[in-house]
Structure 1
Amino acid sequence: MKYIVLGAALATALTTAASAQEVTLGRFFGACEDAGTDTSASVGEACIIQSIINAASAEIEGVTVNTLPTDWGNYYDQIIAAYAGGTPPDIHVLHRHRVPQFAGLGALADLSDDLAAAGIDVNDWAPAALDAVSYNGGIYGVPMDFHANLWHVNMDLMAEAGLVDDSGAPILPSSPAELLEHARMVQEATGQDYLAADFAQFPIGVRLVLALMWQQGANIFDGDTATIDNEAARNSITAMTQLFDAGYANPQLNYADSQQAFLNGEAAILVNGTWVVDFYTAEAANADVPLANYYVADFPTLFDEGATWADSHMWAIPASLQADEAGYQAALRVLAFINDHNIDWARTGHMAVRSSVLESEAYAGLPHRAEYAGTAAIARDTPPSENYGAIQDVLNRELQAIWLTGKPIDEALADAQAEVQDLLDR
């Protein structure tokens, strides 16, 4: 009898596995081979998101999730190619600024009428989160976070330079002139750079310049008109190049090298995003890592008004999947699971999108959260544009030409203005 029971159980398990609906999921965030399914124990973007996905695959009855990780730098090229070939993932991550590009072509499913039945409460999303996934009256994704550029601070170097106030917080600059003065103080006191960032690879430098332009009430385009070649852009770029020219920052650092310089205690400030807060917190607790006294600060106001670059990650479903009812419903169930685990994703350092999470004690208790509580109020982004990706590429190329090859600022801005205007005219 025991063998009959075991045989029946095995047959049931095999039947369930064979009939499980596979959901393919495309994402960036990096690879994590040993994430497991404990969504509260993983550390870092790659492992936290993979643990959530693994848990979804393990816990959602009749659904398995097959992750298709890709490199961040090539992600959109691969997703666009997958759509063109008729084989997009059943679910894929998307930035807010890319919604007009994909939804504008009809590539994304409008989820508006199906979210409630899937167990996703749109009313629990913060208004800005709902706005992030909305386009022309439809809802084209499930938001996962708000993320923004922060100033990550080595408090030991700042203390050596006398840039810590009586409350123990870092003293940050309030003007380009003060930025240069603080940089001088750090280098003279410690021999280290004042500021590090990825100026040579991904568009971190673009986001930094955008923040400084927004602080002056300017932007890079207005509707279909490029507005790059102006004094606000010159002021913003000059604020950075003066650091390079004085030897207080290295424009040749890429993403990995700038991060390592900060962890090695070779820079007092690292400009990077919310996504690394929990990783740097863990690194600072490691006795073998030179960074020991870590602080997270809002992006400082160097001009007239507070502003920092910000965006949102969300999960979208291809419109083509709606023809497969079973596949579409399975994808919605995975999105509901990820939405339910918003607090786990927020452990990265990203800002949560659900009001119930934002107001919870668990969220308030996350490390360093109070130090950059003002970031949400100064978060900014460019206007929606179907050509944002190409515009960002132009700006990244021209800015890198300024600080890596010595291209004159006026010439670079004129070239960027012409190229972006051509993109907006298409």
Structure 2
Amino acid sequence: MIQNELSRRRLLGLGVGLGAAASLTLAGCGGGSATTSGGAAGNGGKDYTGPKVDLKLWNGFTGGDGDIFKKLVQQFNTEHQNIAVAVTTYQWDDYYSKLPGAVSSGNGPDIAVMHMDQLATFAARGVINELDDVAKALELNEGDFAPTVWKGGLYNDKRYGIPLDMHPLGFYYNKSVMQKAGLDPEKPPTTKDDYTAALAELKKAGVQGFWVSPFQFTGGMTFYSLLHQWGGTLFDGEVQKATFNSDPAVEACTWLVDMIKQGYSPANVGQDADYLALKAGKNAFNWNGIWQINDIAKDPNAQIGVAPLPQIGSQPAAWANSHNFTIVKQRAADNNKVSGAKVFINWLSEHSLDWAKGGQIPARKAVREGADFKAIPNVSTLAVELDYAAFPPATPGLGEVILTFYNSFNEAALNKKSPKQALDDGVAKANKQLEDNRKKYGS
């Protein structure tokens, strides 16, 4: 009943399988210098006074957030008679594979919404334009955003993305199931000891309380969070070597796999079965994305709470990603369209409070700290995670490497290999992929 909602999230934040698509030859898309119209003031999008322009915008918001996004675009069009933005929406997995070819053929969009971890790849391939003037015109700087979100929009010290939001993993708990096991439904576990104690009580009541998915959504993201909670990282500081087989990583993976071995989770959990079981009252706890908040709100009888992730390791951490606005390069540059696109990006950035209602945390600090945002149920609850969010590195071609990380966890969760062997094998493959990326994109 929520298949469309679930399918759109398959590749929501990780760029899985996108290395090959992004490496397509983009003939002509990066070097066009002819102008079909010139003369619009390049003022970073503060305003646009030129002739009417029609802009194409691509995005992957196919769920409830898509409806809110389209309403905001309609509002923008109403308020700007000389700019008309037409929205085209794809599933994220189709979106990133279609974009390079469309740009190469001259049929790409003018504006593209892009995840933070994809910016460097598409910037390196010459698909998107620099946006330093937009940040300057808006007087935006790192102090207005979380440092990781702000820096994630940079490639070779040039800005290619204007941050719109951040979306972390959150903790969902079924209050009814907890209550039946004698647990306080208003006090979800926050520590490792609390968590394991609660699972033991649930097990006594005949409930496997924490279903561990072997898939990226959501077991892989859970492991990603736990690895950082244990103090590990996926890569070294320069993203030259994979490090997700470190002692902290093995310990985090072992803890999660042991959930299955100790009977707190079934084995071989199907894709999205962990979340569906939570809603059906068959388990108690689920680590999932902020994008599920709107889904649980659809059921007025649902007794599902939302909280920041429990701290299982030595420090708090949560997987997260961020949507950014980008301007796509064209074969023949149109200065008027570029200026109009910048006006739209500025306008949407300023309306990020409205966007937050789609289940996203505004990237702008002032909006995030305002009373209006704090009044949005559950979404504001997860905003505290921004202080310790573990974002993917902004490095070209990293999609396939991160897929290797998730596949390694999959092998451990399915008991095909021990956690250490699975992660060791994954790191060996990842290091070869990183070496290939350095040859493709430069070090």
- Answer yes or no: same fold by TM over 0.5: yes
| 2:82 aligned with 1:62 | yes
Distance 2:164 2:287 in 1: 22
Task: Identify if the C-alpha distance between structure 1 residues 185 and 229 changes in structure 2 by more than 3 Å, giving closer, same or farther.
Answer: same
Task: Identify if the C-alpha distance between structure 1 residues 115 and 226 changes in structure 2 by more than 3 Å, giving closer, same or farther.
Answer: closer
Distance 1:321 1:354 in 2: 33
User: What is the Cα deviation at residue 198 of structure 1?
Assistant: 5.0
- Alignment identity in percent? 23
Matched AA of 1:61:
Q
Matched AA of 1:55:
Q
Which residue number corresponds to residue 22 of structure 2?
Answer: none
Structure 1 residues 312-344: Cα deviation after superposition (integer angstroms, max 9, x where no partner): 111111133782112212222221221122001
| 2:242 aligned with 1:226 | yes
Task: Identify if the C-alpha distance between structure 1 residues 279 and 59 changes in structure 2 by more than 3 Å, giving closer, same or farther.
Answer: farther
| 2:348 aligned with 1:326 | no
Q: TM-score if structure 2 supplies the norm length? A: 0.78
Which residue number corresponds to residue 228 of structure 2?
Answer: 214
Distance 1:253 1:331 in 2: 44
**Which of 125, 145, 148 matches 1:126?**
145
CA contact (8 A) 1:163 1:171 kept: no
Give the unaligned 5+ runs of structure 2.
Answer: 1-50, 437-443
Distance 2:181 2:257 in 1: 22
Task: Identify if the C-alpha distance between structure 1 residues 157 and 257 changes in structure 2 by more than 3 Å, giving closer, same or farther.
Answer: same
Report the RMSD for the aligned CA atoms in angstroms.
2.6
Distance 2:213 2:52 in 1: 43
Which residue number corresponds to residue 194 of structure 1?
Answer: 209
User: What is the Cα deviation at residue 417 of structure 1?
Assistant: 0.9
Which residue number corresponds to residue 325 of structure 2?
Answer: 315
Deviates more, 1:249-258 or 1:235-244: 249-258
Which residue number corresponds to residue 244 of structure 1?
Answer: 260
**Which of 154, 175, 189 matches 1:171?**
189
Which residue number corresponds to residue 368 of structure 1?
Answer: 378
Instruction: Give the number of aligned pairs.
Output: 382
Distance 1:145 1:207 in 2: 19
**Structure with max Cα Rg:** 1
SS at match of 2:164: strand
Which residue number corresponds to residue 100 of structure 1?
Answer: 120
Which residue number corresponds to residue 90 of structure 1?
Answer: 110
Q: TM-score if structure 1 supplies the norm length? A: 0.81
Distance 1:239 1:84 in 2: 46
Matched AA of 1:194:
G
| 2:279 aligned with 1:279 | no
Task: Identify if the C-alpha distance between structure 1 residues 325 and 76 changes in structure 2 by more than 3 Å, giving closer, same or farther.
Answer: same
Distance 1:185 1:53 in 2: 49
Distance 1:357 1:155 in 2: 31
Task: Identify if the C-alpha distance between structure 1 residues 66 and 254 changes in structure 2 by more than 3 Å, giving closer, same or farther.
Answer: farther
Distance 2:365 2:181 in 1: 40
Matched AA of 1:313:
H
Q: How does 1:390-401 map to 2 (within 5 A)?
A: 390-401=400-411
User: What is the Cα deviation at residue 394 of structure 1?
Assistant: 1.0
CA contact (8 A) 2:217 2:272 kept: no
Deviates more, 1:409-418 or 1:245-254: 245-254
Distance 2:214 2:267 in 1: 5
**Which of 60, 65, 72 matches 2:92?**
72
User: What is the Cα deviation at residue 137 of structure 1?
Assistant: 2.6
Give the unaligned 5+ runs of structure 1.
Answer: 1-18, 32-43
User: What is the Cα deviation at residue 421 of structure 1?
Assistant: 0.2
